[in-house]
């Protein structure tokens, strides 16, 4: 046994690289490996010889194993050293950088709007995407037979719940919570969030879209306050001076209700294909909060007035960056997304 042990240890010592060491290893420890055979052979000896022979065989096996492991280490170190001293290898060269993601353009604009409105004293509110029929429609003075409630427009769930079709339900949710806790106006909130409608998707329509609701309630709030706030907001987001105009617009939860247009940022109002030669772009629906909505919120419409607006975020982002197809937002195309290199703060 001693001879073979010597032979094995010599074979290990003689291995010049990891590949030849691997060969030795499989010869000794692989299937039918010589070392393992030796251990197994103990069982064939006469009974009295087995304990001593077993012990010797195990010791031998351990010794060979240790020699193998030590040699493996040594060869690995050697290989590493060789690589490090290879003149074509420069350990000071920076490695490939992991690619950093960036913010989605909707998130960029949403963050800017949140910064702007919170700097004007608005408070950022959140609300559920799965909403009740009551908050999405009834509380907002939308009659039971209004076409918006129909399933062509609304994704209904079980139990008269639905995917909210706008962020307006958070108006009444917030007013109720506010008055229940004993607060009185002023109340100024913004509600950015995702909304859903059973739309056929095309260049300008998505079934899933982002809005930012705004609500201001106080004594003596007027349309002038609404216009001033909207102008400030559009100037910041579109990064230019803007002119706005109001047209009447109908929403059951505001009275009067308006469509607010901004002068076309692409042609400065001269008329182009984006504004369909009109010089104006419809940008946000808004109005003075309907007395019934204030009552639903627990506020007295004799004492308080308010304004509300519902900005379609995609729309604003499209105007800001000159994007002409709403489907690019959800398409997940990196060539699109990498054009907005802003990273998370």
Choose between 102 and 132: whose C-beta lies nearer to ligand PHE.
Answer: 132
Choose between 127 and 257: whose C-beta lies nearer to ligand PHE.
Answer: 257
**Minimum distance, C-beta of residue 173 to ligand PHE, in the bound complex (Å):** 14
**Minimum distance, C-beta of residue 224 to ligand PHE, in the bound complex (Å):** 17
Choose between 256 and 271: whose C-beta lies nearer to ligand PHE.
Answer: 256
**Minimum distance, C-beta of residue 201 to ligand PHE, in the bound complex (Å):** 17
Q: Which residues bind ligand PHE (CB under 6 A)?
A: 166, 168, 251, 254, 257, 285-287, 308-310
Choose between 265 and 287: whose C-beta lies nearer to ligand PHE.
Answer: 287
The secondary structure of 98-109, three-state, reads CCCCCCCHHHHH
**Minimum distance, C-beta of residue 171 to ligand PHE, in the bound complex (Å):** 8
Question: Is there a contact between 129 and 99 (Cβ–Cβ < 8 Å)?
Answer: no
Question: Is there a contact between 162 and 155 (Cβ–Cβ < 8 Å)?
Answer: yes
Choose between 89 and 124: whose C-beta lies nearer to ligand PHE.
Answer: 124
CA distance 228 to 220: 15
User: Residue of minimal CB distance from ligand PHE?
Assistant: 310
- CA 117: distance to chain centroid? 22
Report which secondary-structure segment, H or E, holds 263: strand 254-263
Choose between 185 and 310: whose C-beta lies nearer to ligand PHE.
Answer: 310
Choose between 63 and 255: whose C-beta lies nearer to ligand PHE.
Answer: 255
**Minimum distance, C-beta of residue 315 to ligand PHE, in the bound complex (Å):** 11
Question: Is there a contact between 44 and 38 (Cβ–Cβ < 8 Å)?
Answer: no
Question: Is there a contact between 218 and 304 (Cβ–Cβ < 8 Å)?
Answer: yes
**Minimum distance, C-beta of residue 145 to ligand PHE, in the bound complex (Å):** 18
Give the tokens for residue 10. 């010599």
Choose between 71 and 166: whose C-beta lies nearer to ligand PHE.
Answer: 166
CA distance 224 to 230: 10
**Minimum distance, C-beta of residue 265 to ligand PHE, in the bound complex (Å):** 22
User: Could you tell me the CA-to-CA distances from 279 to 209, 247, 273 in Å, in that order?
Assistant: 26, 14, 10
CA distance 22 to 214: 71
- CA 155: distance to chain centroid? 23
**Minimum distance, C-beta of residue 166 to ligand PHE, in the bound complex (Å):** 3
The upper half-sphere exposure of residue 281, i.e. CA atoms within 13 Å in the direction of its Cβ, equals 24
Report which secondary-structure segment, H or E, holds 215: strand 208-218
Q: Which is it for the CA torsion 95, 96, 101, 105, positive or negative?
A: positive
């Amino acid at each position: 046994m001693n001879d073979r042990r010597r032979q094995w240890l010599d074979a290990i010592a003689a291995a010049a690289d990891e590949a030849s060491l691997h060969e030795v290893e499989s010869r000794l420890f692989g299937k039918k490996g010589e070392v393992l055979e030796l251990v197994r052979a103990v069982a064939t000896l006469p009974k009295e010889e087995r304990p001593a022979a077993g012990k010797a065989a195990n010791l031998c096996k351990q010794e060979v194993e240790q020699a193998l492991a030590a040699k493996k280490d040594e060869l690995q170190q050697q290989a590493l050293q060789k690589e490090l001293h290879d003149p074509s290898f420069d350990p000071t060269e920076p490695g490939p950088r992991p690619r950093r993601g960036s913010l989605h353009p909707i998130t960029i604009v949403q963050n800017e709007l949140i910064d702007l409105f919170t700097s004007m004293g608005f408070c950022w509110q959140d609300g559920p995407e799965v909403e009740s029929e009551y908050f999405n429609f009834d509380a907002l003075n939308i009659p039971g037979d209004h076409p918006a409630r129909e399933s062509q427009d609304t994704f209904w769930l079980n139990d008269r719940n639905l995917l909210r079709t706008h962020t307006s339900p958070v108006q009444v949710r917030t007013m109720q919570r506010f008055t229940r806790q004993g607060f009185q106006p002023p109340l100024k909130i913004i509600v950015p969030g995702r909304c859903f409608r059973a739309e056929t998707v095309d260049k300008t329509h998505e079934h899933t879209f982002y809005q930012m609701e705004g609500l201001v309630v106080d004594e003596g709030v007027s349309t002038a306050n609404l216009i001033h706030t909207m102008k400030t907001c559009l100037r910041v987001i579109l990064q230019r001076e803007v002119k706005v105009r109001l047209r009447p617009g109908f929403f059951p939860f505001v009275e009067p209700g308006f469509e607010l247009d901004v002068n076309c940022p692409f042609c400065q109002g001269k008329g182009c294909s984006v504004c369909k030669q009109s010089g104006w772009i419809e940008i946000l629906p808004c109005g003075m909060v309907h007395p019934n909505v204030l009552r639903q919120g627990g506020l007295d419409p004799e004492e308080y007035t308010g304004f509300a607006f519902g900005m379609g975020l995609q729309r604003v982002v499209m105007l800001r960056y000159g994007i002409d197809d709403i489907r690019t937002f959800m398409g997940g195309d990196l060539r699109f997304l990498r054009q907005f290199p802003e990273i998370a703060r």
